[in-house]
Amino acid sequence: MISAPFNSEKLLFTPMIPDHDAIGVVFAFPNTYTIGITSLGYQAVWANLTTRPELAVSRWFTDVHEPLPREVELLGISFSWELDYVNILNALNSLGIPIQQSDRTNDHPLVFGGGTVLSANPEPFAAWFDLILIGDGEDLIGNMLAAYAEVRDGDRASQLKHLAQVPGVYVPSMYAVSYGSDDGAIEAITPISPDIPAQINKQTYRGNTLTSSTVVTEKAAWESIYMVEVVRSCPEMCRFCLASYLTLPFRTPDAETSLIPAIDRGVAVTNRLGLLGASITQHPEFELLLDYLAQPKFDDLRLSLASVRTNTLTLKLAQTLSKRDSRSVTVAVESGSERLRQIINKKLTNDQIAQAAINAQEGGLSSLKLYGMVGVPGEIDSDLEATVEMLYGLRQVAPKLRLSFGCSTFVPKSHTPWQWLGVSKSSDKKLKFLQKRLAAKGIDFRPESYKDSLTQALISRGDRRVTRVLELAYGYSNGEVPSNGSYKRAFKELSMGLGDRLPPLDYYVHENWQPNQILPWQHLNGPLPTGTLIKHLESSQALVIL
C-alpha cells in the first residue's frame, strides 16, 4: 500500500539521485509510519542511506511504503522494540521473502538488521537475518555497504562470508551453537570455519556530532517535532540498565560546535524541539544549552525533554521548561527505598526526590511523572511501603503538582550485571499492591503489563531454540502480537517433540543463571568484559546481604 504521509515531510537533508545501476534497498521499520518516523535512529539511518548515489532506497512501514525498487538486493530492518518481531515476520511474508535465512536463494535480497534489540541479543531472531549490525550505525553502515559492493555479483554464500569479515557485522549462519546439558545451558558457540572471527565486537561511534532529526512531519507520533540527541549512554550505570551498559562510554558532543547548530537547523522549520538522551542534564555544558534556549527569540518554542536525572531537576530547569510550553517533566526514581536504590546503584536520596518535586511546582510545571520498578533483586516488602510513603510525601511537599507513577517489572538484559538474574514471580502481586495503595491517595499509577515483561525476558535471554517458540506463537495468533498463553502453548508443543533439548519457559524467564555458564550472546562483545559485569553483580549482591 502506497499512501500520502510522505508528502507532508520537511526534509533537512538532500537525498541523492540514484545511479543507473544503484543497489535496490528497502529500509523497513516494523510498525506504523507514525511510530517509525518518530524514531530518531530510523531517521538517521534512512538519511545515511539516501545520501549515497550508489543506492536506490525505499522506506517500508506496516501501513504504508514508498514505491519499491525494481530489484531489491538488500532489505534493512530497524528493530527497537522486542514485540515488533511479529511485524518483522509480517514484513518478510508481505515482501515474498522466506522467513528462514536457510530457505533463501540467490534470487532473494540479503536481509540485514540493526537497532537496540539486535545489538543486545540477536539470537532469538538469528535465523531470520542474513546479517546483523552490532552497535552504532554511523560508521558501521558504510563499512557494510562498501563490503557488499565488493561482492555484489557473487553468490549468496560468498557474499555472507565476505561480509562476516567486517567488524561489527554478525552473520549468524556462520556460527554453530551446541547444547550439552540437561539444564538447557549452551555448551559452545563456534564459527563454522577458521577464517570467521570467533568474537564480534560491538561498534562504538566516537565522533563529536550525535544524531538529530533528518525529517519533520505533522504525521509523527510527536507531531512536527525536531529531535536532537544531547548525550549517548549514561554514566550512572544502574545495574539493570541496558541503555547505560550497552552504549558505554558516555558521550557528550560540544554544545557550541555541535548541539546549538543542530538546534538552529531544526527551529528553522518547526517550533517544537525535543532533547533526547538517557541523561541529558549530565551533559557538562547543559547550563549553557539551557541559557541558549532561554533567549527571547525562542519564546514560541515548545520544548520537550527525555527523562531528567532527578537531582538535576533545578528550579531554573523547571522555569525554562514552563516558559517553553512544557507542562510536565519525567524522572526515574526506581523505588522510594534508599536501601534498594543502593543495590541498584541509583545515586539518589529521598530528599533529592522531594526537592525535585518542589522545584517542578515552583517552576510552574503542572505535573511530575516518576518511573519505578518492582521485582528488583533484593527487594523486600518494606521497600514497596517505602515507595508508597515517598509518593505520599511528594503530595505533601508539592500539593499542586499532579503526580503519576509508571512502574515496570525488572527484566534481565544482556550485557548488564543483572543479566544472570531472573524475573521475580511475585512482581505481579507487587504491582497490584501498589495499584491499591496509590489509588487510595489519588496518585495516578501506570503499571506496565507483567505478562509483557515475561515475553521481554524470554526474548532478552533467549537463544536460538526460542526462535521456534516465537514462530509457533506467531502462527497461533494469526500475525498479531501473541498472548502469554501462546508462548506457553508453544513451549509445551516443542518440549513434547524435543524433550530435554528445549528448556522450560522458567529457564529463560525466572531462573537465576550461573555467572560461569555460556550465555547466548557470549560471542558478541559488549563495552565491558564479563569479569567486570560479574564484579558489579557481586557488589550489588553484597549490599543485599548487608
pLDDT at 60 over 80: yes
Compute φ and ψ for 406, nearest 5 degrees.
-85, 135
pTM for this model (two decimals): 0.95
The whole-number pLDDT of residue 338 equals: 97
The whole-number pLDDT of residue 184 equals: 78
pLDDT at 483 over 80: yes
pLDDT in tens, 33-59: 999 999 999 999 999 999 999 999 999
pLDDT in tens, 398-452: 999 999 999 999 999 999 999 999 999 999 999 999 999 999 888 999 999 999 9
The whole-number pLDDT of residue 2 equals: 52
Q: Which amino acid is at 379?
A: E
What's the CATH code, domain 224-448?
3.20.20.70
Q: Which helix (H) or strand (E) holds 483?
A: none
On the question of a common fold for 5-176+184-193 and 224-448, the answer reads no
The whole-number pLDDT of residue 233 equals: 96
The residue behind cell 539470537 is 123
Q: What is the mean pLDDT of residues 154-164?
A: 97
Across the chain, mean pLDDT equals 95
The whole-number pLDDT of residue 1 equals: 52
The contacts of residue 146 (CB under 8 Å, 6+ apart) are: none
pLDDT at 545 over 80: no
pLDDT band at 219 (very low <50, low <70, confident <90, very high): very high
Q: What is the mean pLDDT of residues 501-530?
A: 95
The whole-number pLDDT of residue 182 equals: 62
pLDDT at 255 over 60: yes
pLDDT in tens, 274-303: 999 999 999 999 999 999 999 999 999 999
Q: What's the burial of 4, exposed, middle or buried (CB within 10 Å: 0-12/13-18/19+)?
A: exposed
Architecture of domain 5-176+184-193: 3-Layer(aba) Sandwich (3.40)
pLDDT at 252 over 90: yes
Provide the grid cell at 211: 544524531
What's the rounded Cα separation, in Å, for the pair 234 and 371? 17
Per-domain residue ranges for the chain? 5-176+184-193, 224-448, 460-545
Q: Which helix (H) or strand (E) holds 297?
A: none
Q: What is the mean pLDDT of residues 198-219?
A: 96
Pairing of strands 110-114, 74-78: parallel
pLDDT in tens, 172-195: 999 999 998 766 789 999 999 999
DSSP per-residue letters across 367-380: EEEEEEEES-TT--
pLDDT band at 501 (very low <50, low <70, confident <90, very high): confident
The whole-number pLDDT of residue 263 equals: 98
Q: What is the mean pLDDT of residues 141-149?
A: 98
pLDDT at 367 over 70: yes
Q: What is the mean pLDDT of residues 459-487?
A: 93
pLDDT at 479 over 90: no
Helix, strand or coil, per DSSP, at residue 146: helix
The residue behind cell 516443542 is 494
pLDDT at 500 over 80: no
pLDDT at 3 over 60: no
Long-range contacts: 287-291, Cβ < 8 Å, 24+? 288/255, 288/256, 289/230, 289/255, 289/259, 289/260, 290/316, 290/317, 290/320
Instruction: Output the CA torsion sign for 225, 228, 232, 233.
Output: negative
Helix axes 286-293, 315-323, angle to 10 degrees: 30
pLDDT in tens, 76-85: 999 999 999 9
Instruction: Output the CA torsion sign for 136, 419, 234, 306.
Output: positive
Cβ burial 362-397 (10 Å sphere, 16+ → b, else e) = ebebebbbbbbbbbbbbbeeebbebbbebbbebeee
Report CA Rg, the chain. Answer: 24
